[in-house]
Amino acid sequence: QIGVKVLRLPAGVSETAMMNVFRQRAEVDFAEPDYLYAPAIIPNDPWYSNQFAPEWHLPKIQAPTAWDISTGSANVNIAIIDTGVYGAHEDLAPKMVAGWNFYDGNSNTSDITGHGTLVSGAAAAASNNGVGVASVCWGCKLMPLRVTDSGGMALGSKIAEAIVWAGDHGARVANVSFEMFVSEAVTTAAQYLESRGGVAVVSAGNSGTFDPTPDNPYFLKVSATDKSDLVPSWSVTGNSI
């Protein structure tokens, strides 16, 4: 749908040389390596997970005030482009819609590392039910889209493919929890999603670095803040946040 072709080069052929050849052709908009991306890492600091135990972040973003207006619509599907989702979890099972496994090419969207399940719970776990955690969007549905290999790494082309699939299957939000650097393929996919009424949200990452890239108009790129509204040392900062 977005005109992106993925080429596997023969052994010994220079990727850089081939990119330069394609970039000189008038019918080619861009040529780039198909990079591997890692999910935004969970810091291993012992108190990191406990920061979320009282769910202080929900009052901090004034979620209770928002819930007085709306707790979210079941017509809004959030595509979780990640390591899969443990859809049998009692807080997630009633929220699941059909997804896809882009790594294996099948409908098995089981979570292979747990990362996608954590993201899903934060976004749209069943809430006000006396179980587990509360989420931001109580009413939203979750669309699991696995793009990673068994180690949690994902090709940019698979992420782009999942964003396009999400747009074609009614997702209003696509959450991409990978520390993304420049990818024209993923940007083009996000632009396609926007044309279909959706928005792509991308994590800035947790490596504690500065990202000098300019703002991307087709992504909402999100970093972290703490209880005091300060940027933690492990969060990525930059012009695109």
Express each pLDDT in 77-116 by its tens digit: 999 999 999 999 999 999 999 999 999 999 999 999 999 9
Token pair of 98, please?
Answer: 């059909």
In this prediction, residue 117 has a pLDDT band, given cuts at 50, 70 and 90, of very high
Residue 163 has a pLDDT of 98
Mean pLDDT of 12-27: 95
Is the pLDDT at 190 greater than 90, yes or no?
yes
Is the pLDDT at 187 greater than 90, yes or no?
yes
- Kind of pairing between the strands at 154-155 and 36-37: antiparallel
Is the pLDDT at 51 greater than 50, yes or no?
no
Is the pLDDT at 45 greater than 70, yes or no?
no
- Condensed to tens digits (0 to 9), the pLDDT of residues 142-152 reads 999 999 999 99
Is the pLDDT at 57 greater than 90, yes or no?
no
Is the pLDDT at 130 greater than 90, yes or no?
no
Query: Which are the contacts of 151, defined by CB distance < 8 A and separation ≥ 6?
Result: none
Mean pLDDT of 133-141: 91
In this prediction, residue 72 has a pLDDT band, given cuts at 50, 70 and 90, of very high
- Distance between CA 74 and CA 141 in Å, rounded? 6
Residue 49 has a pLDDT of 52
In this prediction, residue 233 has a pLDDT band, given cuts at 50, 70 and 90, of very high
